[in-house]
Amino acid sequence: MIKRVLIIGFIVLSTIISSAQSRVVSELNSNWKFQRGSIENAHAVDFDDKHWETVSVPHDWAIYGPFDKEVDKQLVKIEQNAEEVATEKTGRTGALPHIGQAWYRTEFSLPEFEKGKKVMILFEGAMSEPKVYVNGEMAGEWNYGYSYFYFDITKYVSKRNNKLAVQLTNRELSSRWYPGAGLYRKVSIIVKNQESIDQWGTFITTPYISGDLAKVNIKTRVSGEKLKLVTHILNKDNDTIASSRSNVIFGNEFEQNVAVPDPKLWSPESPYLYTAVSRLYKEGELKDEIRQRFGIRSIQYDAKKGFSLNGKVRKFKGVCLHHDLGPLGTAVNTAALRRQLTILKDMGVDAIRSSHNMPSLEQLELCDEMGFMFLAESFDEWAKPKVKNGYNRFFETDAENDVVNLIHATRNHPCIVMWSSGNEVPDQWGAEGVKRAKWLQDIFHREDPTRPVTVGMDQVQATMESGFGALLDIPGLNYRVHLYEEAYERFPQGFLLGSETASTVSSRGVYKFPVEKAKMKQYDDLQSSSYDLEYCDWSNLPDDDFVLQDDKPWVIGEFVWTGFDYLGEPTPYDEMWPSRSSYFGICDLAGLPKDRYYLYRSRWNTREETLHILPHWNWEGREGEITPVFVYTNYPSAELFVNGKSMGIQKKNNSSPQNRYRLMWMDVKYEPGTIKVVAFDETGTIKSSEEIHTAGKPYQIKLESDRTSLKADGKDLAFVTVSVVDKNGNFCPTATNQLQFKVKGNGTYRAACNGDATSLEMFHVPTMKLFSGKLVVLVQSTEKQGGIDLVVTGNQLKKSSLSLQSID
C-alpha cells in the first residue's frame, strides 16, 4: 500500500482530488519484497523477486529468530565495565540473526509528478549502512543505522513503475546490544514544487512567555524566489488564534514573530500543543504547505535553581529506553510505544532518555502528546571504538551530518529539553576527547541555540582532570555516586545530572535467599532476585540515587537504567548461555512491571496511592524458613500480618538508604496462608491494606487486555496479559504452563513474550511457556472492521477467550 497525504489549503486528504496540490507525502509501507544475503546485480531495473518474501515496512528481519549463541559471539573485554580479560559474550547483541546483508525492493508510481516538481525519499531509520537505488541508479547511501536521512531523487523517477531497491549490511562486532535489522522505521516519498519549504526547514521557538502573551518565533528555510509566507497558529481545537504574513526573505530563510494571546504552556502535567500551518505562495499561487505541531514552554538551567520548566524548579524523574520493543524487535509501532509510555506515566515518570541513539519520530510525537520531557541522544561511540565495527568507523566523516539531521528533524518537539552528544565514549580520556566534545557541542549550539548539551560520563575522575566535564552545558554522571560531591565541587556548572543511574538487576517474580545486597550475583537458573538488592560492578541500588535526589538540591534528576528490559546485554550473565536479554528493566521484556516498578512509583507518582507486597507467598518446601517481606509504599509506616498474626509495625527511617525508602520485615518465617499489610499515614491513621494468598494448583487461564478496540489499519495492537489462577481465583505465581494462542476474525496473532531472559522460544510462534505465572500476547488488527477473538489454551487448564473490536 502507498498511503498518500495531500496538502491543499488547511485540508489533509487521503486521495488525490485536485491537480493543484502543493505537496504529496506517500508512505511506502506494504508490498515490499525482502531477501537475505548478497544478491548479484540486485539493484538492477529488471529482476526476478517472485520467490522473495513479501513484507510490510517498518520491518525487523532478525526478530523472527531463531536464537543462536553463535550469532555475533564476541570475545571481548568490556572496558567501560572495568573488565581486564576478554571473555566470550554469547548473548551480547541478543543472539538473533541480525548479522549479514539483505535487500528490500518495492515499486511505486507518482501520478502527481510533472515538470517543475521535486521528489524526495525519506528514511527514518535503516539498519544498517543503507545503499538506495532508484530505477537501477544509486540515489545515495548513508552509514549510521539510527539516523534519519533523505535524498533528492527527482532525476531518477517517472510517473509510473518506479523501482526502489535498498541494500543493508549489518556487520559483526558493530553493536553492544541488539540493534535490529532492516527498514525498521518509515520510508516516505515526498513530491512537491521546486518553490517549496525545505525538508525539516521550519524551526519554532518561544523566546518570550508571559501570563497573557507568548512570542512564537518561526524560521522557515525555502527554495525559490519572489515568495510570500503566510503562517497561521491553531490551538488544540484547530481554531486560528494568530497569523503572520511576510515577503521579506534573508538568504533562503523567512523569520516571523507571532504573538499568541493567553498562551497554554506545555508541561508533563499539561501537554498542550499548538499547530503552525505555513503556506508558501508565489505570485498568489500556493506552492507549498506544511503543518508543524509545537508547544509553548521555557526551560532554564542555572547554578542557583538547577532545572526549571516554565519557571518552576523540578527534578527529572526519568528512565533510559533502548529502541527495541521486546517481541516486536526494532520495527517501530505506535501502539507499542504508547503502551510503554502509559505504563511509565502510571509509575510517575516524566522524562525519557533515548539510549544510546536517535529516537523514532513516533516516540517523540507521543511524548509531546502524553507529557514526557526528553533527552535526545546521538551516539554511543565517537572516534575511539567500543566495538571493532561500531560508529568509530564513520565519526570523522559523518558525525556532523548525523547531528544536523537529528536536530533539524526533531527540534520542534517541545518534549526535547536537552541533547546528548554521546554516552560513555572512550574519548573521555585525553585532550583529543575534550576537543571532540567541544566540536560536537558547538554543532548543537549552532543548529539549536535554545537547548543545552550533555554527555553521559562514566569516567568521571578522568573528565574532572581533563576539563571534558567542565566544558559541557550539563555534566551527566553515569553511576559513580561516590564521586557526586567531588564532581559538584570541581565542575563549574553548579549542578549535576544523573544521566544514567542504578543498573539494578532483577527477574520478574523470582526471589532468592538469603536476602542480602549483592554485586554481580549469579545463580544456576540464570535469574536475578526481585528483592531489588542486586546490582552490577559499576552501579548501585535505587535507594542510593534517591538519597542524592532528595538531599542534594544541585542534583537535577535522574534517568534510570532502564525503564524496560531490552534484547542483548544480559548482565550479569553475559558470559552464560542461554541468557539473551537484559535484567536491568523496571519492567520486563514483555512490559510487565517488576517489583522495582512499585519502589519507583512510591516516590514518583504523587497523585495516587502505592502499596505493594513482595515476595509472592507460594513457597512449598520453605515452611518455617526465614522469608523476608518487603513493602513498597508512599505511606511512612505499615503493619504486617501472617495468617492474622502481627509481625510488627515498620517505619521508614534514615538508618540506611533501604530503610529510608522501603518497609522490610527481615525475620518473617514462611507458612502457607495469607500475608496482609496495613498502611498508616503520618498521624498513624489506617489508610490502606493489601494481601496475598497462597495459591493452589493452576486451574484457569485469565486474560486482561490493555484495550478493547483497535484501529482497522493493519498495524494497531492490543497487549493481552495472560495469567493463571487457581479454583478460588488466586494468581499462581510459579506457574510455567505451556500455552497456545489462536486469533480469529479481523485480527491476527502477532507475537508473545513472557519476560524470561533465558527463554529461547520464538516470539512469533503461537505458543509459549508462562514465566512466573504470566506472559503477554500481542493481537494485531487487519484492515477490515469487525470482531476479533483471542483463544488461549493449555493442558489441564480451563481455556479462556477474549473479544476485541477492529474499528474505523
User: Could you read off the pLDDT of 675-696 as tens digits, one per residue?
Assistant: 999 999 999 999 999 999 999 9
Domain range annotation of the chain: 2-64+97-193, 197-294, 322-502+553-561, 611-693, 700-807
CB 280 within 8 A of CB 298: no
CATH superfamily label, 2-64+97-193: Galactose-binding domain-like (2.60.120.260)
pLDDT at 42: 75
The 10s digit of each residue's pLDDT in 62-78 is 999 999 999 999 988 88
- The average confidence (pLDDT) of the chain is 95
pLDDT of residue 4: 56
Spot the catalytic one: 381, 500, 534, 569.
500
Residue 588 has pLDDT above 60, yes or no: yes
Per annotation, catalytic residue among 377, 424, 534, 558: 424
pLDDT digits (tens, 9 = 90+) for 496-512: 999 999 999 999 999 99
Per-residue pLDDT band for 606 (boundaries 50, 70, 90) equals: very high
Taking alpha carbons only, the member of 789, 726, 794, 708 closest to residue 754 is 794
Whether 798 shows a pLDDT value over 50: the answer reads yes
Tell whether the model's pLDDT for residue 806 goes beyond 80: yes
For residue 433 the three cell numbers come to 576527547
Contacts of 442 (CB under 8 A, 6+ apart): none
Which distant-in-sequence residues (6+ apart) come within 8 Å of 573 by Cβ?
91, 522, 526, 579, 583, 757
How large is the average pLDDT for residues 30-52? 87
| Alpha carbons 192 and 197: distance in angstroms, whole number | 9
Give domain 322-502+553-561's CATH number out of 3.20.20.80, 3.40.50.2300, 3.20.20.140, 3.30.420.40. 3.20.20.80
pLDDT band at 15 (very low <50, low <70, confident <90, very high): very low
Asked whether the predicted pLDDT for residue 268 surpasses 70, the reply is yes
Q: Which of 432, 476, 484 is nearest to 452 (CA)?
A: 476
CB 594, CB 563: distance < 8 Å: no
Length of the chain: 808
Contact between 498 and 559 (Cβ < 8 Å) = yes
| pLDDT the model gives residue 76 | 86
Which residue in 195, 183, 119, 103 sits closest to 151, CA to CA? Answer: 119
Residue 86: predicted pLDDT? 87
Provide the 3-class DSSP secondary structure of residue 640. strand
Q: What is the pLDDT of residues 398-423, one digit of tens each?
A: 999 999 999 999 999 999 999 999 99
Secondary structure of 471-524 as H, E, C letters:
HCCEEEEECCHHHHHHHHHHCCCCCEEEEEEECECCCCCCCCCCCCCEECCCCC
- Could you write out the DSSP letters of every residue in 565-586? --BS--TT-TTSTT--B-S--S
Q: What is the DSSP letter of 731?
A: B
Beta bridge partners of 351: 318, 373
Give the pLDDT band of residue 618 (cuts 50, 70, 90).
Answer: very high
| pLDDT in the model for residue 2 | 60
For residues 776 and 764, what is the distance between their CA atoms, to the nearest angstrom? 12
Residue 225 banded pLDDT, cuts 50, 70, 90: very high
Residues 372-383 have a mean pLDDT of 98
Residue 734 has pLDDT above 70, yes or no: yes
For the question of residue 424 being annotated catalytic, the response is yes
Beta carbons within 8 Å of 148's beta carbon, 6+ residues apart: 122, 123, 124, 125, 358, 361, 405, 406, 409
Task: Output the pLDDT for position 311.
Answer: 97
Give the 3-state secondary structure of 353-385: EECCCCCCHHHHHHHHHHCCEEEEECCCCCCCC
List the grid coordinates of 625. Answer: 524458613
Pairing of strands 453-457, 474-478: parallel
Say if residue 128 is preceded by a cis peptide, omega within 30 of 0.
yes
Separation between Cα atoms, residue 456 and residue 235, nearest integer Å = 37
Query: What local confidence, expressed as pLDDT, does residue 82 receive?
Result: 76
Lowest mean pLDDT among 79-83, 143-147, 352-356, 572-576: 79-83
Q: What is the SS3 assignment for 668?
A: coil
Tell me the mean pLDDT in the region 109-121. 95
Kind and range of the H or E run holding 161 = none
Q: Is residue 717 a contact partner of residue 771, using CB atoms and an 8 Å limit?
A: no
pLDDT at residue 13, rounded to an integer? 26
Q: What is the DSSP letter of 264?
A: P
DSSP states along 102-124: EEEEEEE--TT--TTEEEEEEES
Would you state the pLDDT for residue 48?
Answer: 86
Strand partners, 680: 637, 686
Among candidates 417, 217, 211, 407, which has minimal Cα distance to 309?
Answer: 417
Instruction: Give residue-wise pLDDT tens across range 754-770.
Output: 999 999 999 999 999 99
What's the confidence (pLDDT) of residue 40?
75
- With a cut of 90, say whether residue 3 has pLDDT above it: no
Fold of 197-294: Immunoglobulin-like (2.60.40)
The C-alpha atoms of residue 141 and residue 152 are separated, in whole angstroms, by 12
- Topology classification of domain 700-807: Immunoglobulin-like (2.60.40)
20 has pLDDT over 70: no
Burial class of residue 643, CB neighbours in 10 A (0-12, 13-18, 19+): exposed
SS3 label, residue 59: coil
Helix, strand, coil fractions of the chain, as percent rounded to 5: 15, 40, 45
Percent of the chain with pLDDT strictly greater than 90:
93
| Cell numbers placing 762 | 520464538
Closest listed residue to residue 24, CA positions, set 35, 15, 34: 15
Cell match 531490552: residue?
A: 566
For the chain, the C-alpha Rg in angstroms (whole number) is: 27
Residues near 385 by Cβ (< 8 Å), separated by ≥ 6? 392, 426
pLDDT of 16 above 80: no
* Residue 207 CB contacts under 8 Å (≥ 6 apart), including other chains: 215, 217
Residue of 59, 55, 165 whose CA lies nearest to 121:
165
Residue 9 has pLDDT above 80, yes or no: no
pLDDT in tens, 165-212: 999 999 999 999 999 999 999 999 999 999 999 999 999 999 999 999
Q: Do the domains 611-693 and 700-807 sit in the same CATH topology, yes or no?
A: yes
3-state secondary structure of 14: coil
Mean pLDDT score, 100-129: 96
Report the pLDDT averaged over residues 459-486.
Answer: 97
Looking at CATH, the fold of the domain delimited by 611-693 is given as Immunoglobulin-like (2.60.40)
- Contact of 376 with 414, CB cutoff 8 Å: no
Per-residue pLDDT averaged across 540-554, rounded?
Answer: 98
pLDDT confidence of residue 17: 29
Sign of CA dihedral 482, 486, 488, 491: negative
Q: Residue 19: its pLDDT value, please?
A: 34
User: Catalytic annotation on 500?
Assistant: yes
Cα–Cα distance, 777 to 223 (Å, whole number) = 49
